[in-house]
Chain A
Amino acid sequence: MIEPRAALRRRPGRRIYGDALIGTLLLVVIIAAALLSPWLPLPDALTNNLQEVFLPPGSPGAQGTHWLGTDQLGRDLLSRILAGTRLSLMVVVLSALIGAAIGTALGTIAGYLGGWVDALLMRLIDIQLAIPFILLILLVIALMGASLTNIIVIMGCTSWAIYARVARAKTLEIRELEYIQAVRAMGFSLPRVLFRHILPNLFTPLVVLLTLDVPRLIVLEASVGFLGMGIQPPTPTLGNLIGEGRSYMLLSQWLVLYPGLVIAALVVGCNLLGDALLRRTHTRLE
């Protein structure tokens, strides 16, 4: 009787750790390479070299081997991808944090206070989710200009809704627990109850949600870059690399292939890690 149950329990567990391990490895390798790229022995990401245009992957060059080939201006694709990954990840992580901060603040307050504040927040969430993200972002970029700060702020300010929804739902649960009633009876101030007694309990679901939302932002940022409306060349991002490479696709498919592969690997890594966290922490996100 004991054996089959033990087997049942062990198998999914091992799978969770395996997924988490693969996901973490993917992310660590890519992020480490992107962060360390300025010190790696690679040709410069922004220097043109018109004698080495469209070299296929693995070709030797004046500044060193072009492991992933070169683009239409003879720039090294690998170092451009790494620089682009660094910038894209910075945009994504900062905007995810902005979205999480706004959403958590709104969701916690609305869930705790209830009443019309809560009703208002729910309608705001509906409004936010009714507009396709990419259309909204492109509209605001067209209005405000495509600077790095603008893109981060815009992506952050349009990503708060799901965090607000989860934070609100969890706060509604926690609010009814006895220890919250106890601290309320002791007359603690509203900020103190929210920050010291409710917020710490939201940490796990919000981290899981963050991990699962980052892939969406990675693809969103890349789509904006691909459409040529994001950060402008020659500064590389994962999206605008593909957008630029698209024109030379027939001649040198590596320009489109490898940046996309990095995006896919980042998304897979985050999804594996997020799913594993979700199951391991037994978090419900509705």
Chain B
Amino acid sequence: MEWVNTIIQGILLGGIYALFAIGLSLSFGIMRLVNIAHGDLIVLSAYVALIVGQNTGLDPISSLVIVAPVMFALGYALQRGLLNSTLSGGLLPPLLVTFGISVIIQNGLLQGFGAYTHRLQEGAIETASVQLPGGISVGVYPLMVFAVAVCAIASLQILFYSTRLGRAFRAVSDDADTAELMGIDNRKLYAVALGIAMIFTAIAGILFAIRANFDPAAGPIRLILAFEAVIIGGLGSIWGTLLGGVVLGVSQAVGAALSPTWQILAGHIAFLIILIVRPNGLFPRTRD
């Protein structure tokens, strides 16, 4: 029963990793943008929620009504004003520019908030738990995070396969030049795409910051976890991203059960094994 418990905790942990990964998966899937600043944007969302909470008294989850539009606007402006002009020159320019953005965000946060660690307070839900048959106790909060991850992926599925906007996203991902010839304004569409990616980033950032401490330097490790989840699941696959997060979560939980020092390493090892066995991930979709 202890192992069942470990696996369940791992699956739920995977929910937050999947949320980390969604924004990255979207921007890569649609515009082949490898966003090195993604982890820092997650952390930035947490800081925005912190400010909103301090100024309005809203609890972190409710503050999403402000944080999500702010992050959408930031993503839209970032893509429109800066990243669009890097996309025509191959893979390297966006890597370098987003790396620069990463450095700017980290140091900007350090300047504005200092190196202190913060945490968002959501109240009683953080420690509540439910009993499952067999004496397994599951935290309500991790369960909720996992449910949010599943809903996020499902809503993306609907966006991509049942809406006009989603159809345009898939067309641009297939063949950007031809999409332009069909009347799609790629630059505007990319800006909307990064905006939507930032909404999911805001959700991920807030849910993560309720669960764990964050500081200005917390971004890069989230980026690595997000990358690993995306690669394990297969580039461009929406449900694969959820599975990638779960694989990472379960590996970490199993590693931690063996020895606490193994938790993080076990996730990376699982990632490397999958990279060797299935270099394109479990559900590869993206065409080049």
A and B form one complex = no
Chain B interfacial positions (CB closer than 8 Å to A): none
